[in-house]
């Protein structure tokens, strides 16, 4: 295979969404698998909608996901600049060449005239295509129209007969009859190139070998092939990856949950979990393994394993994968990532001195087995940082409402108070001895204690909670729970 060069070319008109991130990932994996180059190019010729904020968000999201680019913004490269808005002279030069060679022409038709013709064509049952009337203007006609103050666009002279074949690495050959393709605009009257023109010029000049993009771009491909041929460029390989649909097979949208990388980051998802899940949207390894580190994905990725069928987006599966990475990831890293979520909940403030960090690390380590996101870490850990002000209602009925519950908690507190040293092992031994002496099952002692010190019926191991809270806090919460039972359940 020739030197692989692929690109991801987002438009900075919004955040990096899941579909775009999946396209970027497939390009990145393909480049890394073949020791090729991954180029990031910003298609910002839509001057009305492109913003600096979106541009920065896209770069930040790509970096956060770990999809590093070899050439592009902030990296440079021999084929720059990598923002289309900085390449306008290149597009003008190539459009002028097509005009001079008779492969493109100036069109002076006003927007209102075009709309009226489309309306008439539809009423007569004809395809609402451009009628090519400006394709055969004489020099005198052009002079007259220019004197009227009309600002022309540039249209490609599409062959009226024959067909254009897209040879797709995923979908095989897809044929488009040229008679169904307009003499489409390649340069607008405002002096900006259209997408189908600028992307071809850039992909050729940047020596892109493979165009890997979403299926929705398949309809653009015959037009782009016609531009390649008109300009005398060699064709790259094309691969159109499947659409991503919502669970009901509708178009993925905001109503199905978060749709941008930024939103998932803010909800407490890990980049490796998102990458892992996105890789499975349309691609599958031979053994259908679902949890894969990035290095393994690179080694195993191939376009042959990319499906033609639409991928169904399942937030539950993404969340399950995220929970796996939270449980199995390096605890220090997970703790550092969890700290901002703890701070946002008001559980922590300011910087953490080493001794406090170690305590927080222990808490995160205790709760992470039962959570799926970093935001859930903050919820699961809240009682370690704040007073328990309420108790789970079902737990109250089941554990606090039993006769003698208050006295049992106070007696347990006395056992803990008498320990020469307070840690999980000694606390557990004291509790088991107390349960045996009183003829109770361990659950009859453990469950009300958990409710008293955490307000909850589920969570980390009881004695792990005790050690992290410390003796003073545990005793105070046992005493307060006993008082609450007497005041509210007597």
Cβ atoms 77, 71 nearer than 8 A: yes
Residue (of 150, 216, 185, 183) closest to 45 by Cα position: 185
From 254, 316, 372, 438, the catalytic residue:
254
Cβ atoms 231, 200 nearer than 8 A: yes
Q: Where are the alpha helices (DSSP H) in 301-457?
A: 315-328, 331-344, 354-367, 374-385, 393-395, 405-417, 424-438, 442-454
Q: Which residues contact 204 (CB under 8 A, 6 or more apart)?
A: 228, 231, 233, 234
Count the alpha carbons within 13 Å of 462 in the hemisphere toward its beta carbon.
21
- The residue with tokens 């892109």 is 208
What is the spatial distance between Cα 312 and Cα 245, in angstroms, rounded to a whole number? 5
Q: Which residues contact 162 (CB under 8 A, 6 or more apart)?
A: 178
What is the spatial distance between Cα 485 and Cα 480, in angstroms, rounded to a whole number? 9
Q: Which contiguous run of DSSP H or E holds residue 204? A: helix 195-205
- 3-state secondary structure at position 50: coil
17: left (phi over 0), alpha (psi -120 to 50) or beta: beta
Cβ atoms 105, 99 nearer than 8 A: yes
- Could you check whether the bond before residue 304 is cis, i.e. omega within 30 degrees of 0? no
254 catalytic? Reply is: yes
Residue (of 91, 230, 224, 222) closest to 163 by Cα position: 222
Q: Which residues contact 466 (CB under 8 A, 6 or more apart)?
A: 416, 422, 424, 427, 453, 474
* Catalytic residue positions, numbered: 254
């Amino acid at each position: 295979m020739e030197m692989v060069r692929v690109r991801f070319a987002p438009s900075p008109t919004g955040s990096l969404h899941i579909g775009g991130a999946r396209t970027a990932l497939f390009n990145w994996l393909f480049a890394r698998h073949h020791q090729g180059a991954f180029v990031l190019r910003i298609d910002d010729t839509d001057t009305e909608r492109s913003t600096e904020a979106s541009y920065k968000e896209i770069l930040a999201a790509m970096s956060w996901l770990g999809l590093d680019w070899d050439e592009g913004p902030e990296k440079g490269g021999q084929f720059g600049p990598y923002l289309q808005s900085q390449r306008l002279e290149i597009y003008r030069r190539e459009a002028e060449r097509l005009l001079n060679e008779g492969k493109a022409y100036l069109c002076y038709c006003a927007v209102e005239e075009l709309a009226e013709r489309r309306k008439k064509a539809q009423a007569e049952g004809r395809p609402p295509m451009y009628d090519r009337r400006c394709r055969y203007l004489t020099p005198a006609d052009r002079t007259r129209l220019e004197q009227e103050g009309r600002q022309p666009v540039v249209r490609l002279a599409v062959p009226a007969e024959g067909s254009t074949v897209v040879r797709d690495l995923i979908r095989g050959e897809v044929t488009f009859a040229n008679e169904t393709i307009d003499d489409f605009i390649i340069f607008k009257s405002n002096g900006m190139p259209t997408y189908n023109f600028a992307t071809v010029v850039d992909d050729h000049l940047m020596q892109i070998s493979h165009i890997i993009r979403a299926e929705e771009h398949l309809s653009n491909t015959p037009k782009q092939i016609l531009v390649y041929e008109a300009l005398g460029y060699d064709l790259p390989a094309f691969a159109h990856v499947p659409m991503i649909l919502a669970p009901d097979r509708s178009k993925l949208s905001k109503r199905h949950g978060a749709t941008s990388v930024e939103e998932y980051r803010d909800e407490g998802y890990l980049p490796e979990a998102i990458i892992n899940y996105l890789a499975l949207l349309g691609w599958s390894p031979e053994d259908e393994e679902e949890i894969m580190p990035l290095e393994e994905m690179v080694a195993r990725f191939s376009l042959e394993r990319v499906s033609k069928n639409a991928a169904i987006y399942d937030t539950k599966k993404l969340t399950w994968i995220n929970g796996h990475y939270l449980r199995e990831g390096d605890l220090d890293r997970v703790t550092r990532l969890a700290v901002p979520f703890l701070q946002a909940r008001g559980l922590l403030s300011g910087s953490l001195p080493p001794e406090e960090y170690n305590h927080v690390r222990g808490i995160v380590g205790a709760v992470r087995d039962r959570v799926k996101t970093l935001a859930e870490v903050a919820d699961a850990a809240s009682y370690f940082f704040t007073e328990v002000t309420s108790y789970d209602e079902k737990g109250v009925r089941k554990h606090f409402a039993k006769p003698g519950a208050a006295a049992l908690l106070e007696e347990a507190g006395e056992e803990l108070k008498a320990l020469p040293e307070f840690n999980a092992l000694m606390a557990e031994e004291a509790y088991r001895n107390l349960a045996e002496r009183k003829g109770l099952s361990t659950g009859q002692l453990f469950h009300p204690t958990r409710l008293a010190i955490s307000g909850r019926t589920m969570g980390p191991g009881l004695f792990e909670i005790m050690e992290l809270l410390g003796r003073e806090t545990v005793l105070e919460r046992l005493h307060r729970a006993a008082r609450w039972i007497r005041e509210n359940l007597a």
